[in-house]
Amino acid sequence: MAIEGTYQNQNLSIKDKIKLLDFQLIMLVLILGLVSFLVMFSIDGGKFGYYTNNHIIRFSIFFLIFIFLAFTKINIWFRSAYFIYIIALILLICVDFFGITSSGSKRWINLFVINIQPSEFMKIALLIFLARYYHRIPSYEVNNIKFLLLPLVVILIPTTLVIRQPDLGTAVLIAGGGLCLVYLAGLRIKYLLYSFFYFLILVPVVIAFLKPYQKVRILTFLNPERDPLGAGYQIIQSKIAVGSGGIFGKGFLKGSQSYLDYLPEKHTDFVFTLFSEEFGLIGSASLLVLYILILLRITNIGRQSKSSFAKLFCYGFAAAFFLYVIVNMAMVLGLLPIVGAPLPIMSYGGSAMLGIMFGLGIVMSCCVHKNETT
């Protein structure tokens, strides 16, 4: 994957940069944002309430940031890649000492004006770091142990810090996104398989270190009916809501599971459940197609980029984005244990949306400056 080259600067005017924007990707993101507005409107009971208003404001601001980042040059991200990772890592460490505790987890820090969740920014910072690290390493050298040690360390450190919060779901997504990029850089599949087998061997050890509620989640995943009114309640109600939507759904603002408050956390991790109940299999499939189209645009930008750094970041971000979507959907359908995994842009939450928009902004920067090499 890695390609040798030297950085070539392009002096593009604002007009030239606007012409080079991927308007298909912009429209797809806007459509996804509009769909998320409808879902939040439904959550607020068919009115512009707390979730709807905040979600619209956040999306509007973050969308402008997404467009603004498109005009920044690739070499800015290339040269600051390690610095961005270090800042994200410092913020994660600060969570351990100064973090805000909510629902038993310490995941946020207060920056006077807003509360942020550094783990969401680490997802992108890690991809930038690894894209920079591998941009000059030939694919046949990627499997050399001396080129594998540093990437494993920079993946392991934030993953461990996030597990300590505790936030197992985000830790899995951080590690998964990082490993995806390492694989795309040229890591042989056999090493990933070896790692998977080693993980299976260590499962009993890992389980021993899990917190009680995490063990309950695994047992609930295996058999939700063991505690239908307690630990299994959320996933059971989620399955009922998705199933009751049928082919065409119950209709906008007509989801009984949601409106009667049978479904907890419907504005965050379980937003797909509400959407499926109201719009059915057709709506759910359409939403999945929308995500796939976004992924195709991202990978197409990566394919057209001459910069190996841009290629690696775009492909890595696409793989991580796909992972975020699949993990969330599989979780609410009972195919994976319940973890903290928001659905990109659709779920309510500022840090998660900002992180995704930040990544999309860098992708768009790669599009505008696709003829530059690093």
Is 60 exceeded by the pLDDT of residue 3?
no
pLDDT digits (tens, 9 = 90+) for 111-151: 777 788 999 999 999 999 999 999 988 877 888 888 888 99
Q: What are residue 101's phi and psi, to 5 degrees?
A: -90, 130
In eight-state DSSP terms, residue 335 is: S
What pLDDT sits at residue 350? 86
Is 50 exceeded by the pLDDT of residue 95?
yes
pLDDT digits (tens, 9 = 90+) for 224-238: 777 777 777 888 888
What pLDDT sits at residue 286? 96
DSSP β-bridge partners for residue 116: 109
What pLDDT sits at residue 26? 97
Range in 73-87, 106-120, 216-230 the model is least confident about:
216-230
Range in 23-27, 168-172, 321-325 the model is least confident about:
168-172
What pLDDT sits at residue 5? 39
pLDDT band at 4 (very low <50, low <70, confident <90, very high): very low
In eight-state DSSP terms, residue 115 is: E
What pLDDT sits at residue 253? 86
What pLDDT sits at residue 67? 95
Q: Which of 141, 95, 132, 80 is nearest to 311 (CA)?
A: 132
Give the whole-angstrom CA distance, residue 116 versus residue 266. 21
Burial class (CB in 10 A: 0-12, 13-18, 19+), 231: middle
What pLDDT sits at residue 118? 92
pLDDT digits (tens, 9 = 90+) for 5-51: 344 455 778 888 999 999 999 999 999 999 999 999 998 888 999 99
Is 50 exceeded by the pLDDT of residue 314?
yes
Is 70 exceeded by the pLDDT of residue 244?
yes
What pLDDT sits at residue 258? 63
CB of 154 closer than 8 Å to CB of 181: no
pLDDT band at 53 (very low <50, low <70, confident <90, very high): very high
What pLDDT sits at residue 230? 72
Tell me the percentage of the chain whose pLDDT exceeds 70: 92
Q: How wide is the angle at C-alpha 14 spanned by C-alphas 10 and 15, nearest 5°?
A: 105
- The secondary structure of 195-232 as a DSSP string is HHHHHHHHHHHHHHHS-HHHHHHHHHHH-GGGSTTTTT
Is 80 exceeded by the pLDDT of residue 66?
yes
- The secondary structure of 180-191 as a DSSP string is HHHHHTT--HHH
Would you state the structure tokens that stand for residue 331, as one six-digit string? Answer: 């979780």
- The secondary structure of 76-111 as a DSSP string is HHHHTHHHHHHHHHHHHHHHHHHPEEETTEEEEEE-
Q: Mean pLDDT over all residues of the chain?
A: 87
Is the dihedral angle over the CA atoms 178, 179, 184, 185 positive or is it negative?
positive
Note the maximum CA span of the chain.
64
